[in-house]
Chains A and B, each alone.
Chain A
Amino acid sequence: MEGDWVLFQLINGWAGRWPLLDGIMRPLVNDYMLTTAMSLGLVALWFACPVAPHTGTVRHREGKGQAERERNQRAVLMAILSLLAANLLLKLCNIIYFRPRPFHAHPVNLLFYHPTDSSLPSNIATMGFALAVSVWIGNRKAGLGFILAALLLGFARVFCGVHYPGDVLAGALLGGGVAYALSRQGRWLDLLLDFVLRVARAMYLA
């Protein structure tokens, strides 16, 4: 906990010094920008359907492009499932353990409002990393972008004084762990994803 506080001071100490940096961090830390951007990323990934140049008519379309598209769409569905599962675990954690926010225990540079729920684990880091790890497992290139967004989100939370670095780390482990564990599940999850993809395909959306 001591190390957590030291690291928090190091990062949060930059807040309030440079108006430009504060101006960048304030929109990033709130609930709308990066979360919406990551959701838009999922939409983009779903409709990214690369087709190799040697594809045939639509009646015979198959091969590399189609396999890659299906992998992307499975990653999107896994991200949504991971988000739901991580959210359930998060609620459970919040019931079992409550950690006060940094601004309750220490003088901090607060650039955000006063959230009242438990500081550990960070909700937004849990969600961000659940999405990011799911996407990364299905598509490394797109996943890297999601992981960077999740890291930025976690950093902004500490910078603005609403979380300790340990909260973000715990959220990342929880969200990422749930995503990884779900990806290791076998047939029952595949059956569900196959069903959803079949329905979406029938509606011309997969």
Chain B
Amino acid sequence: MEPAVFIVSAVVVLSGALGVLLARNPVHAALFLVQTLFGVAVLFVLLNATFLAAVQVVVYAGAIVILFLFVIMLMGVDRADDLGIEPIAGQRPLAVVTGASLLGLTLVVMLVAVDGSTGVRAANAALGDAADNTRRLGEALFTDMVYAVELTAILLTVAVVGAVALARRLKGPLQPIPVEAVAAVPADEGAPDLPASQDPSPEGRSPDDTASGDPA
């Protein structure tokens, strides 16, 4: 039973990851990401980490991917990527070589050289069975690690405040990115990326339009 579940989830995880890599449309990539996250959640259940499996589904698949989809829909960037452009010559072969050597190195270190883990078995934070998992995690988080939990609370607050500050609409017209800075970029694929002031902006929600188009 366990090998079958593992193999099926591994196929789900890896095909989803391949989909994220190869999907031209960002929306499809996000949905493939959900597939991978569900596969990892099943593997968590298989490893008796039931609480993390639930958190994986709720937080990752439920919140983070929805955030991705929100941004994709909101900004209208769901255009298909042109995967034919290769801006740096030889970038993709080099990336594949890098990934393959990373994989080889990791496999050698983790499986061949030391054969799994070199750690000692736990003395104080013992792993319970699946039914006990959530209670033990909660006890450890709110006793031994309570300061770390408080720090993550601060981190999340800072992140939310920062996100609001970054994404809010400023009063007055936005300054477009200076033309000379754009012109400094190699102009081979720069044709559709005019500065915002010259952009016809078909959706009509360019900040320049909303800010300066009123008196007419």
A and B: bona fide binding partners: no
